[in-house]
Structure 1
């Protein structure tokens, strides 16, 4: 076993160790739409609808739905945008002769898809294509993250992290209110509820139940108190809290990793392989950010999944070659 591991490079060893975790994340996040719709249903029916109308309620609904919409849009843009696939079959003798290369100029060819590889392009074993400035293949979006769609992927992780943290805060706040309503009548000098407090609490619950039935018959709405104490609703809220925590941790990690890669102008593959014979010079950090999010400079468009990005391509320096 030691001999086998010794023969593997650092990149192969890291990839082998990551396989179980990648499989787990693929199973969980391949059903991201189902999980997001489930969270929407629970929060709307248990938290938002029963709550009395207030400014805070309107703001919470508007913020949550706004970022959910942006997350869906960013996910679709990441999924259906060409990440920067290099055309196949371009490494033929005739095509190379048409490039007009000068003597001594080095040309790189991918033997797997028979294409001329621009600088920083890597072959994806899943897509069976060479991808310009490929960062990784993401099963969450069923696409590679590359030169043309990295912005959308970063925005997707950012928006998912926001709505996950927001949902987690809403659920925790709801549970805190429930605990406050149920235990505020406890005798502060005793570890048990006094008889008068218990009787008052019981009467209050009966009154709330009667009011809930009346409201249900008239308006078809659930009482917030009844919903809060229903066991099935507690289970659903716990599931949403766990989902929010899991998504928040994972997407925040992905967001930080992606931003670090953009800031250093080095993709995840390049970091793992630790390539020393780089055929390109790193961009300045601000220029690297502009290359991913927008060449016009920092603006609201950087946070929009609907604006098209014109990346600064790394290509072969020949006027007759365009990928």
Structure 2
């Protein structure tokens, strides 16, 4: 590409910091519209019917539960390191028999190690990947992020909304953030729909101050827009998880019909969410999954055993 958007990487970092405030502002508007302007007063109204009380209580409780999970997942993505390449990591000769790692006497690309400097000599068909910017070997599925300025394990993409890369160690948290965001925005949209319709009706209602009406209108429009857009992202990432690929791999068209990392939907899912079902819906991993699933660490990934050398 002649024009590269990542030349503005510094600007993207600044925008990302602002986006955290934007997310919190949208949450604040939604909270005000649903709890304070709409269903809170309806729940506390002296003449409220039993039906109104039940509906208001259900909306408020579900809203708070989804909001808690949304914020938990969101800040888990923001604060979790997506995965950095260990300084001592080098390609295994068993994984790539065509590549040789030679000592000081050889000529080639110098690599900084823990105790000494080594040189990499890559043969014509070598699959060893080396990052000149980080001066490190690149494990499989690892990519250098121009925004973060470092290599990220199993990098999916850099997300401005979370001011972080989405990689091996926070991809699950990002997916859960999308799920709970979709559920929360859908709930708010449906909850505010009757008030939004009444906003344009000719029937006079005791609907509150102009500020509350504005909050309901803005909250409905924002949440409807986010629900529709997040649904698209969910469908896309569900397809990526099912095929055990990333956004970058799909974008680069490197996912053939027989993708070497595609081990079946069940195992593909477990490489992102783990095998313990009790942890699937929360932004945490079981210690057992971290021990038994190397892919969660973002360095080693199992491949199909029946692929030819060309397919690998």
Work out whether the TM-score is over 0.5: yes
2:76 aligned with 1:82? no
Say which structure is richer in helix: 1
- Give the secondary structure class of the aligned counterpart of 1:144: strand
Q: Deviations over 1:127-166 (max 9, x none)?
A: 1111111000001111111111111000101111111111
1:65 aligns with 2:59: no
Q: How far apart, CA to CA, are the structure 1 residues paired with 2:137 and 2:172?
A: 25
2:168 to 147, 159, 163: 147
> 2:143 maps to which residue?
122
Match of 2:281 among 283, 291, 303: 303
Q: Which is worse superposed, 86-95 or 135-144?
A: 86-95
Does the CA-based 8 Å contact 1:88-1:113 persist in structure 2?
Answer: no
Q: Provide the rounded CA distance (Å) in 2 between the counterparts of 1:235 and 1:34.
A: 15
Residue of structure 2 equivalent to 1:217: none
- Quick one: structure 1 residues 59 and 87, their matched pair in 2 at CA, closer, same or farther if it must change by over 3 Å? same
2:249·2:255 contact (CA, 8 Å) conserved in 1?
A: no
SS of residue paired to 2:151: strand
In the alignment, which residue of structure 1 is the partner of 2:50?
A: none
Which residue does 1:172 correspond to in 2? 193
Cα gap change, 1:302/1:256 in structure 2, threshold over 3 Å: closer, same or farther?
A: same
User: Which residue of structure 2 aligns with residue 38 of structure 1?
Assistant: 29
Equivalent residue, structure 2, for 1:284: 264
Which of 92, 99, 103 pairs up with 2:112?
92
CA RMSD of aligned residues (A): 3.5
Match of 1:312 in 2: 294
Shift of 1:28: 6.3
Gaps of at least 5 residues in structure 2 are: 45-52, 90-110, 302-312
Counting matched residue pairs gives 254
Q: Is the 8 A contact 2:73 2:174 kept in 1?
A: yes
Higher strand share: 2
The alpha carbon displacement at 1:281 in A equals 3.6
C-alpha distance 149-168 of structure 1, shift in aligned 2 (>3 A): same
Distance 2:178 2:28 in 1: 17
Query: Any conservation in 2 of the 1:122–1:132 contact (CA below 8 Å)?
Result: yes
- Structure 2: distance between partners of 1:246 and 1:178: 18
Mark the CA change 1:237 to 1:281 in structure 2 (over 3 Å): closer, same or farther.
closer
Does 1:255 pair with 2:234? yes
Q: CA deviation at 1:293?
A: 0.7
Using the alignment, how far apart are the partners of 2:167 and 2:223 within structure 1?
A: 27
The TM-score, its normalising length taken from structure 2, stands at 0.70
Judge which range, 233-242 or 171-180, deviates more. 171-180
Provide, for residues 78-109 of structure 1, a one-character-per-residue CA deviation record: whole Å limited to 9, x for no partner: 1111111113586337668699xxxx975321
Q: Which runs of 4+ in 1 moved over 4 A?
A: 25-30, 93-99, 176-180, 276-280
Query: Would the aligned equivalents of 1:89 and 1:113 in 2 still touch at CA under 8 Å?
Result: no
8 Å contact from structure 2 (residues 245, 261) kept in 1: no
Contact 2:20–2:163 at 8 Å: present in 1 too?
A: no
Q: Secondary structure at the match of 1:159?
A: helix
Q: Secondary structure at the match of 1:137?
A: strand
**Structure number with higher relative contact order (C-alpha < 8 Å, ≥ 6 residues apart):** 1
Residues 246-265 of structure 1: per-residue CA shift (max 9 Å, x gap): 21122212222211111111
